[in-house]
A and B are shown apart, each in its own frame.
Chain A
Amino acid sequence: MREELIISGRNNYLIDPVLHIWHWQIPLYLFLGGLAAGVLFFAALFKILGKENEYPSAVKIAPMIVPFLLILGLFALFLDLKHKLYFWRLYTTIKLQSPMSWGAWTLMAVTPLSFIWAALHVKEVFPKWKWPHKMFDDLESILKKYILEIAWFILVFSVILGVYTGILFSAFNARPLWNTSILGPLFLASGLSTGAAAIMLLSKSETERKRFAKIDLMLIAVELFLIVHMFMGFLASTQVQIDAASLFLGGEYTAPFWIFVVGFGLVIPAILEILELRKYHIPVYISGSLVLFGGIMLRFIIANAGQASRWLY
């Protein structure tokens, strides 16, 4: 028996007995960031492939919500900071070793790009839209000439944003559950999947919905593969990582993870999407909402469980 007792009254708030430095703000922000990355990725991809008329929701309609998602996410992030008025210090430093630093800079690039993308399509989505000043019309016609170049930038930055939402956790060696590079691709796949789900929910075209149901199905398969891969990696690793994995394999996070993330978030929507593709009539909003729910739960559970996994004590 090995037992460690703390006798000095080590009782640092938010750290003892379980680290809880990141609350709802960070997982919410990671979810919104991943969702925004997913929507932007498909918008840019189908624009580059020249399929904007085939997939109008992906290229034009869904990106309208992205600036709001990003602003909401950044606001959540701002609420998480303890020294809120110093947030601008993020932009006086470039630290390549810090994922949080390059995440801040990625958002600095993605957020204006998402505004530009929405602005370039706003007249097609809302035909009555009028810019308040002629300057905006001029700017719009200039930027429209470079729309393919903008799409390429968005494609690249959306992948970086999606991967970053996972790598942010991976960089913490001190939290064995997070310290796996699988989280980058897993969160990217999940972000793309939630993006596809949002496009499905906003689409009025049957072919577009079916196409995105197929894409989502592939992404769910990738996510399930990565989750299995993650646990195989943990169980083949050191004792701290085996302990971390056991939080999900019999420990206190087992039921929420397997029921909410894997069950409701991945397996059930996958079954519903397969049935839908086989021409059963299943309302698309059920599978779409479940995927979004699974995406939120994945981030909340990984964020909380990661803080419960540690080396000491």
Chain B
Amino acid sequence: MRYAMAVDTKKCVGCSDCVVACQTENNVPIGFCRDWVVEVTDGTYPQLEIEIRSERCNHCNNSPCVRCCPTGASHYSDGGIVLVNSEKCIGCGACIASCPYDARYSHPDGYVDKCTFCIHRVKKGQDPACVAVCPTKCMYFGDLDDPKSPVSVVLKKRKYKTLIPEAGTQPELYFLI
């Protein structure tokens, strides 16, 4: 089992519904976010291109955050999902400094927090909150080892990229281009 997510940059309109859904679903403290939307303008005027991406933890296969965590609080869970055990986290900040995607933040309660791919929903057979709520249906989630999962199907059909592949983290968050 290998959980992954794909985000269609051609369909995303940057409404930030995913951000609000995540904050509500996961009780994210006010002023923080586990996912966010980035708008990238590329090119030279007048030939400009805009790409809109809904970003979150990349649940990397080679996660620097898991490697550098001194207490083992950051760990790989079922299906390669990267999670933080708040009971083990001492809040040293090493994982925050080690993440090239800046996907983690320090929760006011003292531990480090981030996207969990809504594992509590996935276990019940539901989609992550951001995927479920997206009005343009631009996000696909599922098991890459299952050829029939929405994410496997869409990655077979479309061109895609990952963010900062040169950092060697092997992300499981794909962007359809």
Contact = CB atoms under 8 A, between A and B. Distances in A.
A311 B97 contact: no
A312 B14 CA distance: 19
Contacts of A141: none
Contact of A15 (B14, B45, B72, B102): B102
A41 B58 CA distance: 43
A81 B167 contact: no
A65 B145 CA distance: 59
B109 to A, nearest CB: 8
Interface stretch (B2-10, B84-92, B119-127, B154-162): B84-92
A13 B106 contact: yes
Interface string A41-85: 000000000000000000000000000000000000000111110
Range, interface on chain B? 35 or more
B64 interface: yes
A5 B164 contact: no
A100 interface: yes
Q: Is the interface of A mostly helix, strand, loop or mixed?
A: loop
A269 B164 CA distance: 43
Q: Is the interface of B mostly helix, strand, loop or mixed?
A: loop
Interface in B74-131: 87-94, 96-102, 104-106, 110-112
A311 B81 CA distance: 23
Nearest to A13: B31
B1 interface: no
Given A19-B96, A89-B90, A100 B68 contact: yes
A133 interface: no
Contact of A21 (B39, B106, B164): B106
Contacts of A90: 70-71, 90
Given A13-B32, A87-B90, A311-B167, A104 B70 contact: yes
A95 B70 contact: yes
Contact of A93 (B31, B70, B97): B70
B31 A11 contact: yes
Contacts of A9: 16, 19, 33, 36
B37 A93 contact: no
B163 to A, nearest CB: 8
A181 interface: no
A1 B100 contact: no
Interface stretch (A122-130, A172-180, A257-265): A172-180
Contact of B99 (A3, A82, A98, A174): A174
A83 B36 contact: no
A106 to B, nearest CB: 12
B151 interface: no
B91 A82 contact: yes
A197 to B, nearest CB: 29
A2 B42 contact: yes
A114 to B, nearest CB: 22
Contacts of A97: 67-68
Interface of B: 14, 16, 19, 31-33, 36-45, 64, 67-73, 87-94, 96-102, 104-106, 110-112, 163-164, 166-168
30 contacts: A4-B40, A5-B38, A5-B39, A6-B36, A6-B37, A6-B39, A7-B16, A8-B36, A8-B38, A9-B33, A10-B36, A15-B102, A21-B106, A81-B92, A82-B106, A82-B111, A86-B87, A86-B91, A93-B71, A95-B69, A97-B67, A98-B70, A100-B92, A171-B67, A171-B98, A174-B98, A174-B100, A238-B166, A312-B100, A312-B102
